[in-house]
Amino acid sequence: MQEHQTIEKEHDYIPERKKWKRQLFRIIYRADTPLGKLFDICLLILIFISTFIVMLESIPSLDLRFHKFFIALEILISVVFTIEYALRIITIRNKKDYIFSFFGIIDLLAIIPFYLSLFFPFTKFFLIIRMLRMLRIFRILNLMDFMNDGYLIVRALKNSSRKIYIFLLFLIIFSVIVGSIMYMVEGHKEGFESIPQSIYWAVVTVTTVGYGDVSPSTPLGKFFSIILMLAGYSIIAVPTGIVTAEMRNKRQNLEKVCNRCGNDDIDDDANYCKICGEKVVNFKK
Amino acid sequence: MQEHQTIEKEHDYIPERKKWKRQLFRIIYRADTPLGKLFDICLLILIFISTFIVMLESIPSLDLRFHKFFIALEILISVVFTIEYALRIITIRNKKDYIFSFFGIIDLLAIIPFYLSLFFPFTKFFLIIRMLRMLRIFRILNLMDFMNDGYLIVRALKNSSRKIYIFLLFLIIFSVIVGSIMYMVEGHKEGFESIPQSIYWAVVTVTTVGYGDVSPSTPLGKFFSIILMLAGYSIIAVPTGIVTAEMRNKRQNLEKVCNRCGNDDIDDDANYCKICGEKVVNFKK
Amino acid sequence: MQEHQTIEKEHDYIPERKKWKRQLFRIIYRADTPLGKLFDICLLILIFISTFIVMLESIPSLDLRFHKFFIALEILISVVFTIEYALRIITIRNKKDYIFSFFGIIDLLAIIPFYLSLFFPFTKFFLIIRMLRMLRIFRILNLMDFMNDGYLIVRALKNSSRKIYIFLLFLIIFSVIVGSIMYMVEGHKEGFESIPQSIYWAVVTVTTVGYGDVSPSTPLGKFFSIILMLAGYSIIAVPTGIVTAEMRNKRQNLEKVCNRCGNDDIDDDANYCKICGEKVVNFKK
Amino acid sequence: MQEHQTIEKEHDYIPERKKWKRQLFRIIYRADTPLGKLFDICLLILIFISTFIVMLESIPSLDLRFHKFFIALEILISVVFTIEYALRIITIRNKKDYIFSFFGIIDLLAIIPFYLSLFFPFTKFFLIIRMLRMLRIFRILNLMDFMNDGYLIVRALKNSSRKIYIFLLFLIIFSVIVGSIMYMVEGHKEGFESIPQSIYWAVVTVTTVGYGDVSPSTPLGKFFSIILMLAGYSIIAVPTGIVTAEMRNKRQNLEKVCNRCGNDDIDDDANYCKICGEKVVNFKK
C-alpha cells in the first residue's frame, strides 16, 4: 500500500481545480472507481495486443500476409496511446514531475517509435523500444494493489544486491580463469578458438545451462569440466542462501518491536509480545 | 488428516440405509477395513497397468505386435472402471455431490474415452484423457494417509503463489525484452528468425535448461547470453527463497496450540501466546 | 560420534579373549591407534587404486597396452582384500553380525567378483560389483570421525524423505501428463515418436537438464516447452525448501531443552538459557 | 572491517621512518586519501586493460591486425606493474611478510610472465599466469571496504565446507557408480565407450548441465537417465540447505554483543546471554 502511494505521490498532492480534470485524473491515475478500473483493463489489453503485434510482425510468413493489418493496428494503438499520454499531461497539475518520472518516460517511449518511423525507415531499430511498453503493465498492476508481494521480492533483492554483486564478480573472475585454462587445455579445438569463446563455455557450464554448442573433447578438458560442473552445482547454493536469509529477514524487519523487552520478532497478527507477554499497543517501526 | 476429511465430507455425511450399500460404501470410499485396503490396492494396480498400456501402445513396434492384446486389456480395464463408477454412484447417497466433485469428474473421464472410441475412430485424441486416470492415484494415496506431507507442500505453494506469479510475470517480461534484443542482435541467424523464437531461446537460457537447439553465434549474442545466464543463475534464488520462507512459516503453525484461545500459530521460542497473552506452559502437540 | 558407534556396536561388545586377536581387532576395526590409522589409509589407497584400474581397463586403448599389468594389480588387490576379509572375520567375536551387516556384505562383494571371474568369462558383468568397493570409503571416513556432518545431511534427507517422495510423485505424474500432451502436439516428429520418448523429454526439460537431443520443433510445442521450463524453474524451489527447513530443524532437535522454561533452542556452547537465564546444567535430549 | 585489517596488519605495524616512504606507503597500501583512491582506480583500470589484452590476443583475427599494438600495451603495463611492485617493496618495512603473502605472490606473478617471455618463446603457457592478475582486483575492492559482504559469503562457505565436501564425495561416488551402470547398459554406444566417459555423462546429467554431447540412446539408458535427473534435481537442495542454514547462522553472529562477557553470538530473540547469563538489555550493533 504504502509503496505505490510514494510512487504516485509526486504528482497528485496538488489536485486540479477544474472538476472534469479532477474526474479524468481519478480515472486515469487511480483504480478506485469502476471507470478507473475499466480504463486500466482496456490499457492492459491494448498493451498486450501491441506486444503481440510486434511479435507476430517479426514472423516473416505472418508479416507477408497480414502486413497491412498489423500496420493499421499499430497506428490505431499508437494514436490511443498518444491521446492517453496527452490526457495524462493535461489532467495532472505537476506536469514536470510526471514527464520526467520513470513511468512518464516509459509512456513517452511507448509512442515515440511510431512517430519517428513515419520519417525514418528503420523500424527494426524501434522494435525494442516498442517492447518496453510492456513495462507499463507494472504501473497498472501497481494501481490494482497487485504489487505488494512484488515489492517484498524487489526489496529483498535490493538489500542483498551488494552480496549478489560480489558473488557475481567472484563467478565472473572464476569463469575467466577457468575459461583461460580450458583455452590452454583444449588447444585450438572447435569452440575453444579464443579465450572469450572459452569464457562463454565456462559460463554456460558453471551456470548449469549447458547448451552443448561448445563441449570439451579431450579427456583432460572433460576432467576440468567435471570439476567446473560440480563447482557450479555447489555454488548455486550461494545466491539462494543470500536471498532466502534476506527474505526471512525482511519479514521481520517490516514488523514491530516490543516496547518492554525489545523483541523485534512480532508477527502481524500478534496482540501480545511472545517473549515477555507485553500488550502490543503502539509499536515502533 | 483434517484436509482429506473435508474432501470426502461432501458425500458421506448421510450414510445409506441399506446394509449392503453401507458395507460397499465403506470398502469403496474408505481404507479402514482390510477389504477397503485391498480394493484400493487393486485399483492402484489397475491404474498403473492402464497407464502403461497407453504408453506402450504409442510405441509403433510394440503396437504392431501386441495391438490386440492392448485393446483387450483396455476393454477389460474400462469395464472394471465402469463397474466401479456405477458402484460409487449407487453406494453414495449424495450422488450429485460425488458426480460433480473433482474426483467424480476424473472417474468419469477415466471411462468416457473408451465408449467414445467405439463410435469415433480418432482414439489418439482421447489418449491424454486416458492419461488423466493417473490423477486417481492421489485419491487413493489420500485415503491411505499418505498425503499429509503433500498437503503441506501444496499449502506452502498456495500461500506463496501470489509472489510466485509476480516472479513469473517479471521473468516472462524479462524474457520477452531480452528475446527482442537478441532478435535484433543476432539478426536473422538460425534460431532467431522471429521474436517468438528468440523468446523461446531466452526462456531456455534463463531457466538454465539450455537445449542447445538455438544458441548464439555472434560475439555480441554470446556476450548477451552470458549476462542472461548469470541473471538466470542468480534469480533462481528468488522462488527458492519464497517457498523456503513460506515452508518454515507453515511448519510453526502445526506445532503448538494455546490452551486458552486455541491459537495454533505459536513459535518455538514463545513464552506467551501472541494472541491472548496466556503464558505458554504446557502445550499440546 | 554416537552415530558410528551404534553401527559398530553390533560386533564389538564382546572383545576377543586372545591378546593378538584383540590387538588386531583394534587395528582393523578402530582408528584410535597409529597402526589403526595406517591400516585405514592403506585400505583407502587400495580402494582408490582398485577403482582406477576398473576405470582404465574400460578404455580400449589403455586396456590393449596395459592389460596384463591391470590383471596383475587386480589379483594383488583382490588377494589383499581377501586377507583383510579373513582377518575381519577371525578377529571379531560376533562373526554373524559382521558378515550380514551392510559393510560385511560390501566387503564380501569387494572380493567375490575376482574369484567368480576365474571360472566365468564375463568379467564385464562383475564390473559394477567391483565398483561397489567404493562404498567402503564411507566406513573408513566414518572411523576417522569425518562423517558426523554427513550424518546430519543423511538424517535431514531421511526426515524429509516422505515429502520428497510425494514431490517426486507429483513431478513424475506431471511429466507423464505433459509428455503425453507433447506426444499429441508434436505429432510423430523426431524425438516424440512415442509417449515414453516424450516423457523422457519432459523430464529432461522440467529438471532443467536440457540435453537438446530431443527438442520441440513446432511453435505450439515450443510454447508448451516454455510453460514446462518456467514450471520446472519454479518448482525446483520445493525440494530446496523442504530440505532447508528440515536442516534448520535438525540443528535444533539435536540440541537441548531448558529445564525451567522449556526453550528448546539452546546452542551447543550455551551455558545459560537465552530466554529465561536459567543455567544449563543438565539437559534433556 | 575487522577482517581486512587482519590481512594488512602483517605489513603495516612498523611504519617507515622516512616521510616520503610513509606517504607513498599510504597511497599504495591504503585507500583513505584522495591520492590513494586514485592510485587504486588507476590500478583497477590497468588490470582490466591487461586482462582484455590477453583475451583479445587469443582471437586470431584480432591478433593478426593488432599484434604490435597488443605487445606494446603489454610491455607498458608490465613496466608499470614492475614499478608498482618495486615501490611496494621499498615502502614497506616488513618486506619478507609482503613478498610471501598471498597478494605479494600474486603481484610477482603479475609481472614474471612478461620477463620470462623475453627469453622463452612459449608465451601461451604464461597466459594463465597473466590471467591471475585479475585476483588483484580483490585486494583493491578489499581496501575500498567493498568486501565485507564477500567475507560473509566466504565465511559461510568455509563453515559449511566440511558438509559440502562430504556432499561432493557422495555426489562423486554416486556419479562413478551410475556411470559404471550406464557403461554396462549403453554397451559401447557413442559417448559411453569407457567408464570415465560414462562418469563424465553422469556428472553432466546429475548437475543438470546437460550438454547433450553425450546422451542415452537405448530405452533402458533413457530410463536410468530419468532416475538420475530426478535425483540430481532433488539433491540440488542439499548444498542449498547447508549454505542457507549456515548463512542465517552467520548473520546472527554479527548482530549483538554481550556487554559483560563480549559474546557476539546472541540470537535475535535472546533475553539473556547464553554464555554468562547476563540480561541482554542494551546491546551494541
Mean pLDDT value of segment C221-233: 91
Q: Output phi, psi for D266, to 5 deg.
A: -110, 120
Q: Does A199 touch chain B (CB under 8 A)?
A: yes
Nearest chain C CA: its distance from B72 CA (Å)? 20
Partners of residue C169 in chain B, C-beta under 8 Å: 137, 141
| Cell numbers found for residue A238 | 550461494
Nearest to A230 among D59, D156, D168 (CB): D168
| Cell numbers found for residue C135 | 562404498
What does the pLDDT read at residue D128? 78
pLDDT tens for each residue of A195-226? 999 999 999 999 999 998 888 988 899 999 99
Q: Where are the alpha helices (DSSP H) in chain C?
A: 2-9, 19-29, 34-57, 60-91, 95-99, 102-119, 123-131, 136-143, 148-159, 161-185, 195-206, 219-235, 237-253
The SS3 assignment for A279 reads strand
pLDDT tens for each residue of B94-139? 888 899 988 899 899 888 888 888 777 666 667 778 888 888 888 8
* CA distance linking residue B179 with residue A279, whole number of Å: 54
CB atoms inside a 10 Å sphere around CB B133:
22
Partners of residue A269 in chain B, C-beta under 8 Å: 265, 274-275
CB of A31 closer than 8 Å to CB of A37? yes
pLDDT tens digits for chain A (285 residues)?
334 444 444 444 456 677 888 888 888 888 888 998 999 999 999 999 999 998 998 888 888 999 899 989 989 999 999 999 999 998 888 888 889 988 899 899 888 888 888 777 666 667 778 888 888 888 888 777 767 777 778 888 888 888 888 889 889 999 999 999 898 888 777 888 889 999 999 999 999 999 988 889 888 999 999 999 998 888 888 888 888 877 776 554 444 556 666 565 555 556 666 666 666 554 443
pLDDT tens for each residue of D18-48? 788 888 888 888 888 899 999 999 999 999 9
Closest residue by Cα to residue C218 from C188, C175, C195: C188
Closest residue by Cα to residue A55 from B125, B285, B207, B202: B202
Nearest to A229 among D132, D153, D203 (CB): D203
Buried b / exposed e over A8-21, threshold 16 CB at 10 Å, is beebbeeebeeeeb
* CA distance linking residue B207 with residue A208, whole number of Å: 10
Residue-averaged pLDDT of chain C:
80
Q: Does A81 touch chain D (CB under 8 A)?
A: no
What does the pLDDT read at residue A45? 93
pLDDT tens for each residue of B249-263? 654 444 455 666 655
Q: Does B204 touch chain C (CB under 8 A)?
A: yes
| Cell numbers found for residue A239 | 545466491
Partners of residue D180 in chain C, C-beta under 8 Å: 54, 127-128, 131
Q: Does B210 touch chain D (CB under 8 A)?
A: yes
**D50 alpha carbon, distance to own chain's centre:** 19
Q: Is the pLDDT of residue D70 over 70?
A: yes
What does the pLDDT read at residue D276? 67
Nearest CA in chain C to D185: C125
Beta bridge partners of A266: A256
Helix (H) or strand (E) holding A206: helix A195-206
Q: What is the DSSP letter of A183?
A: H
Partners of residue A268 in chain B, C-beta under 8 Å: none
Q: Does D274 touch chain C (CB under 8 A)?
A: yes
* CA distance linking residue A109 with residue D261, whole number of Å: 61
Q: Does A175 touch chain D (CB under 8 A)?
A: no
* CA distance linking residue A14 with residue A24, whole number of Å: 15
Q: Is the pLDDT of residue D105 over 50?
A: yes
pLDDT tens for each residue of D245-268? 777 765 444 445 566 665 555 555
What does the pLDDT read at residue B152? 77
Q: Is the pLDDT of residue B159 over 50?
A: yes
pLDDT tens for each residue of C46-64? 999 999 998 998 888 888 9
What does the pLDDT read at residue B2? 39
Contact D55 A194 (CB under 8 A): yes
* CA distance linking residue B130 with residue B47, whole number of Å: 10
CB of C263 closer than 8 Å to CB of A275? no
Nearest to D210 among B210, B240, B244 (CB): B210
User: How far is the first Cα of chain D from the last one, in angstroms, to the nearest whole number?
Assistant: 14
The mean-pLDDT minimum among B111-125, C88-102, D3-17 falls in: D3-17
Mean pLDDT value of segment B176-187: 88
Q: Does B244 touch chain A (CB under 8 A)?
A: yes
ipTM of the complex, rounded to two decimals: 0.80
What counts of helices (H) and strands (E) characterise chain C?
A: 13, 0
The mean-pLDDT minimum among B91-95, B179-183, C154-158, C250-254 falls in: C250-254
pLDDT tens for each residue of D184-242? 888 777 888 889 999 999 999 999 999 988 889 888 999 999 999 998 888 888 888 88
Q: Does C233 touch chain A (CB under 8 A)?
A: no
Closest residue by Cα to residue A29 from A128, A140, A113, A161: A140
CB of A229 closer than 8 Å to CB of D167? no
Model pTM? 0.83
Contact B180 A211 (CB under 8 A): no
Nearest chain C CA: its distance from A210 CA (Å)? 8
Treating both helix axes as pointing N-terminal to C-terminal, what angle do C237-253 and C148-159 enclose, rounded to 10 degrees? 120
Structure-model confidence comparison of residues C172 and C191, the more confident one: C172
Nearest chain D CA: its distance from C27 CA (Å)? 25
Mean pLDDT value of segment C80-102: 90
Q: Which domains does chain A have, with CATH numbers?
A: 2-142 (1.20.120.350), 155-253 (1.10.287.70)
* CA distance linking residue C251 with residue D265, whole number of Å: 16
Contact D212 B211 (CB under 8 A): yes
